[in-house]
């Protein structure tokens, strides 16, 4: 896994470098409901003209992502929740994603759904001519995002980006790569955008540190579905959920997310805590954890697999504390989902949690065991009250406010001409071949 993931990172970094470039504070504050309503009304008023123009012209917002919309992760959740609000507002949008871009998606859990895709200038010109977009927003930094970024720069098309994952810290934590290498890639990708969005103050500060101009940085907060995630009575739980809580001892410590190395679940599993740990999710490490459990390890742990809908909401509500051990997430939507369910959060004092969690709703500590013990003392009602301040409508309106309009004349004058080095995508083809060989060898060695 390390070999393949490391190569993926190098491919993206090399692809970015092939183009010449043209050019403890908290973002989540506890405010009352009246204040939140006023903020939303203000955003609606300030962006009335832009919203009306998007609706009346029918020109869509193009959302570019390398993450398959069929996957289950934080990025996909944000995109789906935000686009649902765009639907409510009557704002059109289109996706450029692995579902409609030629390429190959690695199905193995090791590669975590990563694909190799290439968009030629002609393909992009044809897409943009057909869709006639009002704006372009790059959701992720992968090969699709890189292809669109290059074309936008060469054609003078304004675009925005969003920084979801702390890549420098992620690759250092996972593969011991120099943090400076990740910083260079993030800077080269995002500083060419007209606006760079991120969810928290600490991430804005981090992006500024690695070279993104301050005037380009904007906060676009995340939301939570408080109608779906709310405190529930265990007596009303579905039988299969109720069984978990009735057949095990409390207190119950919960993790929800992808069962993969970057989530740092091992720290949670190794923590000496009372009661039962519940691990909800699927991913490349799940089977190895279950195999270890079958041999006598993790005796106080329940692995439920992936859950959704009412079952997931009940697991959140039934837990006594939600544990967020990741050190590389830039936000962690699951934190808000837990708080909305009346479940306090325990986490490390790192980017993401430090922007959300206060002593009134959870605990941050370099010692995860201490954080869990302290979070168990928190009043669940305060956790719920805090989460009630956040909505996806607010997120969508911030997004509309921050995107950049593409002049009609720019779309009409688009060219399919490419620099010579892009006419035949030898780099992509060669890189894909090497990737496939290493992936095949890696799979064979594991048999």
Output the pLDDT for position 102. 74
Domains of the chain: 2-223+393-446 (3.40.50.2000), 234-389 (3.40.50.2000)
Look at residues 48, 53, 260, 19 and name the one whose alpha carbon lies nearest to residue 146: 19
Q: CA 186, CA 211: separation in Å to the nearest integer? A: 9
Q: CA 255, CA 281: separation in Å to the nearest integer? A: 8
358 against 177, higher pLDDT: 358
Output the pLDDT for position 37. 67
Task: Evaluate if residue 123 carries a pLDDT over 70.
Answer: yes
Q: CA 383, CA 362: separation in Å to the nearest integer? A: 8
Exposed e or buried b for every residue in 304-339, given b needs 16+ CB within 10 A? beebeeebbbbbbbbbbbbbbbbbbbbbbbbbbbbb
Strands 103-105 and 115-117: antiparallel
Average pLDDT over residues 283-308: 96
In 236-324, beta strands by DSSP E: 252-256, 276-280, 301-305, 321-324
Rounded to two decimals, the pTM is: 0.71
Number of Cβ atoms within 10 Å of the Cβ of 97: 21
Average pLDDT over residues 418-429: 48
% of the chain residues with pLDDT over 70: 82
| pLDDT bracket for residue 436 (50, 70, 90) | very low
Output the pLDDT for position 43. 80
423 against 329, higher pLDDT: 329
331 against 12, higher pLDDT: 331
Task: Evaluate if residue 25 carries a pLDDT over 60.
Answer: no
| pLDDT bracket for residue 237 (50, 70, 90) | very high
Output the pLDDT for position 114. 56
Task: Evaluate if residue 379 carries a pLDDT over 70.
Answer: yes
DSSP string, 134-164: SEEEE---SHHHHHHHHHHHHHT---EEE--
Cα distances (Å, whole numbers) of residue 362 to 147, 180, 254, 272, 285: 42, 32, 14, 18, 27
Long-range CB contacts (within 8 A, 24+) of 81-85: 81/223, 81/225, 81/392, 81/395, 82/392, 82/395, 82/396, 82/399, 84/392, 85/392, 85/393, 85/395, 85/396, 85/397
CA 302 centroid distance within chain: 26
Look at residues 170, 162, 172 and name the one whose alpha carbon lies nearest to residue 203: 162
Diameter of the chain measured on Cα atoms: 67
Look at residues 143, 133, 113, 103 and name the one whose alpha carbon lies nearest to residue 18: 143
pLDDT in tens, 189-206: 999 999 999 988 888 999
What stretch of H or E contains 81?
helix 74-89
Give the list of residues 6+ apart from residue 355 with CB closer than 8 angstroms, or none: 25, 26, 27, 28, 199, 200, 201, 202, 203, 331
pLDDT in tens, 214-234: 999 999 988 999 889 999 999
């Amino acid at each position: 896994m390390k070999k393949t993931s490391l190569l993926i990172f190098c491919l993206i970094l090399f692809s970015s470098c092939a183009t010449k470039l043209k050019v403890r504070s908290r973002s989540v504050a506890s405010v009352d409901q009246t204040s939140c309503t006023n903020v939303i009304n203000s955003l609606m008023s300030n962006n009335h003209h832009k919203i009306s123009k998007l609706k009346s012209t029918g020109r869509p917002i193009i959302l570019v992502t390398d993450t398959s919309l069929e996957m289950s992760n934080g990025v996909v959740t944000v995109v789906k929740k935000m686009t649902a609000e765009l639907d409510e507002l009557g704002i059109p949008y289109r996706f450029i994603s692995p579902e409609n871009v030629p390429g190959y998606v690695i199905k193995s859990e090791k590669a975590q759904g990563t694909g190799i895709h290439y968009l030629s200038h002609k393909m992009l010109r044809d897409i943009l001519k057909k869709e006639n977009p009002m704006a372009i927003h790059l959701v992720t930094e992968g090969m699709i995002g890189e292809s669109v970024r290059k074309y936008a720069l060469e054609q003078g098309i304004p675009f925005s980006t969003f920084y979801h994952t702390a890549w420098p810290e992620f690759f250092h934590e996972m593969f011991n790569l120099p943090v400076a290498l990740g910083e260079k890639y993030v800077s080269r990708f995002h500083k060419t955008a007209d606006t760079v969005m991120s969810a928290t103050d600490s991430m804005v500060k981090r992006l500024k540190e690695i070279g993104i101009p301050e005037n380009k940085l904007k906060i676009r907060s995340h939301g939570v579905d408080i109608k779906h995630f709310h405190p529930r009575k265990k007596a009303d739980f579905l039988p299969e959920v109720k069984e978990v809580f009735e057949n095990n001892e409390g207190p119950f410590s919960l993790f929800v997310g992808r069962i993969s190395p970057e989530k740092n679940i091992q720290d949670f599993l190794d923590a000496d805590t009372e009661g039962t740990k519940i691990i909800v999710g699927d991913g490349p490490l799940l089977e190895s954890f279950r195999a270890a459990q079958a041999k006598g390890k993790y005796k106080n742990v329940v692995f439920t697999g992936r859950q959704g809908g009412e079952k997931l909401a009940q697991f959140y509500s039934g837990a006594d504390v939600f544990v967020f051990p990741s050190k590389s997430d830039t936000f962690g939507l699951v934190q808000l989902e837990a708080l909305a369910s009346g479940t306090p959060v325990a986490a490390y004092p790192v980017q993401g949690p430090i922007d959300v969690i206060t002593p009134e709703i959870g605990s941050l500590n370099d010692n995860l065991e201490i954080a869990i013990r302290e979070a168990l003392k928190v009043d669940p009602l305060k956790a719920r009250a805090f989460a009630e301040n956040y909505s996806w409508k607010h997120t969508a309106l911030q997004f509309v406010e921050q995107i950049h309009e593409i002049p009609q004349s720019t779309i009409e004058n688009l060219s399919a001409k490419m620099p010579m080095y892009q006419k035949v995508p030898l780099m992509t083809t060669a890189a894909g071949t090497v990737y496939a060989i290493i992936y095949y060898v890696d799979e064979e060695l594991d048999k």
